[in-house]
Structure 1
Amino acid sequence: MARGKAATGKGAAARSPTKRTFWQALRRRALQLLLVLILLPPVLTVVYSVVPPVSTLMIARYVQLLWVDREWVPLEEISPNLIRSVITSEDSGFCTNDGVEWDALQDQVEALSEGERPRGASTITMQTAKNLYLWGERSYVRKALELPLALMIDAILSKKRVLEIYLNIAEWGEGIFGAEAAAQAWFGKAAKDLTRTEAARLATALPNPLGRNPAKPSAGHRRLAATNLARVRSAGPIFGCVLAN
C-alpha cells in the first residue's frame, strides 16, 4: 500500500508542472491578445491617415456576402452644404472639442443617475470610433470604449481627416455607405453637387438611416431637415476647421 501511495504521489507531482505550464502559456497568450487589442486601434488609425478605411458594419456585410455600395471621395469632393448640415446636426462643437463633448456627456450621466433615458451625447469623432472599431448595438460598454478611442483618433488625425472618414463610412441606407454612394442612390448626383435641402435631408437621416428616405422624406423628416437648414444659417463660425468660409 505504501508503494501504491508513493506511486500516486509521484504521478501527481509529474502532472503538476504540466498543468502549470499550460496555464502559464494560456496567460501569456491572453496577455499577448490584450496587447494586440490595445495597440491595434492606434496603429490602424495611423494607417487610416492615408488609407481609406472600411467600417465594421461594412466588414460584417462583406463577410455575409451582402451588397455594399461605397465610393471613397476626398472631402473636397463633398458638398460644403453636406459638411455644414452634418456638423450642425451631429456635432456643432466638432471643431473645438477633443473628440468628446464632456459637458454633454456629464448631462447624460446625470440624467441616467436620475432614472431618465440618456440621449447619447455622441460626437462625430465618437461615431467614427464606433464605426471603425466597435459594434452597432447600443450598450454602456460600447459607449465607455468610444471615449478613449475618440480621444486617440482626435490626437492622431486632423479634423479634416476625421470628418472625411466619417462622411465616407456613415450608413445612409441598406448597404449604402458614404456621402458619394448616398448622393448617387437617393438623388442621382455626385456628393459635390448636393443642394442645401438635399444635404439637410441626408444629415437628418443619419440617426435612423434605415428608416428615413432622403429622397421621399416623411412629414417629420421634412421638419427635421427644415430645422437643420435654419440652424445652419444661424450657426456662426463653427465650420472653420474644415471649410475656408
Structure 2
Amino acid sequence: MAKRRSTRPAPQSKLKKYGRILGKVILWFIGITFFWVLALKFINPPITFLMLQRGIEQKAAGKKWKIEKEWIRFEDLSDNLKKAAIAGEDVNFLKHWGFDFKAMENAFEKNQKSKRVIGASTISQQTAKNVFLWPGRSYIRKAFEGYFTGLIELLWSKERILEVYLNVIETGDGLYGAEAASWNYYHKSAVSMTKQQAALLVAVFPNPRRWSPAKPTSYIYRKQRLILRNMNRLGKLPF
C-alpha cells in the first residue's frame, strides 16, 4: 500500500515565502520614504505628529486647540538665528553627515556621572524626528530617526535642513517655528532678531514648555551667554 504524501509545506519553503514578503515590505518602505523625503525638499511640511499630539493633549486638558506657526524662508531668517541654532544645538552641524559621534561619546560619559541626562542629537536628527516621526523614546523610534537622518542628509542641503528645523521646532505652548516665537516673545518678525534675542530663544529649545524667553531663569541666561560665545567662535556662515 502506497504511503500518502504530506500536503503540509516544508519549513524551508515557508521561510522563503516569508522572506519574499519581508523583502517586498522593505522595498516598499524604502521607496515610499525616499520619495516622501524627496518631496519635502521642495514642499514645506504642513503639520507634524508633535503638533497633532500637543493639540490633542490641549483638548484633553480642556484647553483651546492651539497651533501657531508661520513659515519663513531660509533667506529671510535672521543670520543671528541661524548662527545661534548651530552654536546652541549642534556646533558641528556644517561638518558632520547627520551624526556627531564625538558629542554622543561625551554625552554618554557625562550621563554616567550625572543624574541629569544630556542629549547629543544633531540638528539633522532633531529635524528627522520632528518632521517624520512620532514623539517618544524607544529603540524602534531611534532606529527610524537614524534612517530618516541619513535620508535628509543625502537628499537635502544643509540650508534646507536648518530651514525646516527652525520652522517646525516647538518654541512654546502651541507655538512652532521661529516666526511664531519671535512675534509672541519679541513682537517682531524673526527676520530682524538680534544676537541676544536669538541666543535666548535657542537657549529654551530643549524644553520650551518649561522655559520661556519672556521669563528667563538664571540657568537660561547662562545658556544664552554660552551660545553667544559659541556664535562668536563660529564666524561667518557659508550661506
TM-score clears 0.5: yes
Tell me: CA distance 1:184–1:32, structure 2 relative to 1, closer, same or farther (3 Å).
Answer: farther
Please state if 1:51 is matched with 2:43: yes
- Larger radius of gyration between Structure 1 and Structure 2: 1
Q: For 1:84-135, what per-residue CA distance to the aligned partner results, in whole angstroms no more than 9, with x for missing partners?
A: 11100111111111111122234456677x6877633210000001001222
Letter in 2 for 1:228: I
Q: For 1:26-78, what per-residue CA distance to the aligned partner results, in whole angstroms no more than 9, with x for missing partners?
A: 99887765544433332111111111113221233466773111111101111
Tell me: CA distance 1:33–1:115, structure 2 relative to 1, closer, same or farther (3 Å).
Answer: farther
Q: CA RMSD in A?
A: 3.0
Superposition pairs for residues 190-205 of structure 1, below 5 Å?
Answer: 190-205=189-204
Letter in 2 for 1:38: I
Q: 1:141 deviation in Å?
A: 3.2
Residue pair 2:110, 2:118 contacting (<8 A) in 1 also: no
Any unmatched runs of 5+ in structure 1? 1-12, 18-24
Tell me: CA distance 1:107–1:139, structure 2 relative to 1, closer, same or farther (3 Å).
Answer: farther
Please name the residue that 1:165 is paired with: 164
Tell me: CA distance 1:116–1:201, structure 2 relative to 1, closer, same or farther (3 Å).
Answer: closer
**Number of aligned residue pairs:** 222
Superposition pairs for residues 76-115 of structure 1, below 5 Å?
Answer: 76-108=75-107
Q: 1:159 deviation in Å?
A: 0.7
Instruction: Give the Cα separation in 2 of the matches to 1:211 and 1:121.
Output: 20
Tell me: CA distance 1:98–1:226, structure 2 relative to 1, closer, same or farther (3 Å).
Answer: same
Instruction: Give the Cα separation in 1 of the matches to 2:102 and 2:159.
Output: 23
Q: For 1:178-210, what per-residue CA distance to the aligned partner results, in whole angstroms no more than 9, with x for missing partners?
A: 111110111111010111111011111101111
Any unmatched runs of 5+ in structure 2? 1-6, 10-16, 60-64
Letter in 2 for 1:134: L
Instruction: Give the Cα separation in 2 of the matches to 1:60 and 1:133.
Output: 14
Query: Structure 1 residues 155-164 or 32-41, which shifts more?
Result: 32-41
Letter in 2 for 1:55: T
